[in-house]
Amino acid sequence: MTKAFISGCAAHALSDEEIAFFKAEDPWGLILFRRNIETPEQVRALTQAFRDAVGRADAPVLIDQEGGRVQRLRPPHWPSFPPQKLFGDLYQSDPGRARDAAKLGSRLIAHELRGVGITVDCLPCLDVSFPETVDAIGDRSLSADPNVVADLGRSVADGLLEGGVLPVAKHIPGHGRAQVDSHLDLPHIAASAGELAEVDFKPFLALADLPFGMTAHLLYQDLDHDTPATQSQKIIQDVIRKTIGFDGCLLSDDISMKALGGDMLDRARKTFAAGCDIVLHCNGEMQEMQTVAAAAPKLEGRSAERCSAALSMLGPVLEDFDRDAERARFDQLVSPVIA
């Protein structure tokens, strides 16, 4: 039976050991990184090999394809896209044009992803930018205005869905105030619950209907003084589920990031106990993958329902999408900012 975790893999093709692991443990999905990417044909073979191993044609394959610094698919085989901040900059002078550009940009990304068997993009980034925002977020944020983040985030999500790729709202309940990189250490957020609700939560509230949300590995001192959001039952149940009203499939951010303490078994168990539906483990290290699989419960009950509901949002894709013509239109839309 399928287990409630998403795994990485080590290289361009699955090893015999990985295939045996995926067959035995049946993770709900796979996530790809630069180490897994070479050519379109190779990526298509990799995504198909994973689905063959788990025996589910609809098994989700995820990636972070945002634009700017965060692009796993890159030239020469795939086109480049600007960072998300560009759409926020364009919004200042022409909101309608910015919405069109954000939607078309993600529609173009979806076209590239679907072509190689990837069905979930970890986008939109709904983190509001602050003067102190760490560079690890930086220009990945759409704007310093939560209303603009919400408006453009909707456009980004709509473009992905139109292209047959599921969006992920990240990093819930908001990563913008972090002053250190959560890949390396645990950020502590001193803002009050009221300040967070007034700014940081707003984009997530506006997009609470998205199929997936991804947690933030941040310690919000006024919400839970002791535990980062990913592992905080108080934050997941009281803030994410109730205050924000997100009832979609909640993914943890990568539990191999250094913001979380303890060994991998402890990290996975605490994350599940807090209320994440799916634990995400990305680094492709087999020993850690086996540990996460051992901690992962069978995907059932409300979590299974949320996962099923998320996948049901994948609709048919129009076959007459002219990528070259639409890319030319996209380049024209963003030209005032790029120039």
pLDDT at 332 over 60: yes
Name 229's Cβ contacts closer than 8 Å, sequence gap at least 6.
172, 173, 215, 216, 217, 218, 219, 220, 223, 235, 236, 239, 240
pLDDT at 151 over 80: yes
pLDDT at 193 over 60: yes
CATH of the domain at 222: 3.20.20.300
CA distances in angstroms from 26 to 52, 54, 299, listed in the order given: 11, 5, 10
* Mean per-residue pLDDT, 214-229: 96
Domain containing residue 184: 3-338
* Mean per-residue pLDDT, 247-272: 95
Give the pLDDT band (50/70/90) at residue 184: confident
Using an 8 Å Cβ cutoff, are 166 and 212 in contact? Answer: yes
pLDDT at 172 over 60: yes
* Mean per-residue pLDDT, 248-258: 95
| pLDDT in the model for residue 339 | 57
Instruction: Determine what percent of the chain is predicted with pLDDT higher than 70.
Output: 100
| pLDDT in the model for residue 264 | 96
Give the pLDDT band (50/70/90) at residue 146: very high
Helix (H, G, I), strand (E, B) or coil at 120: strand
pLDDT at 319 over 80: no
Q: Which residues are catalytic?
A: 183, 253
Provide the token pair at 152.
């453009």
Dihedral of CA atoms 27, 32, 33, 39 in degrees, nearest 10, equals 150
| pLDDT in the model for residue 181 | 81
Q: How many domains does the chain have?
A: 1
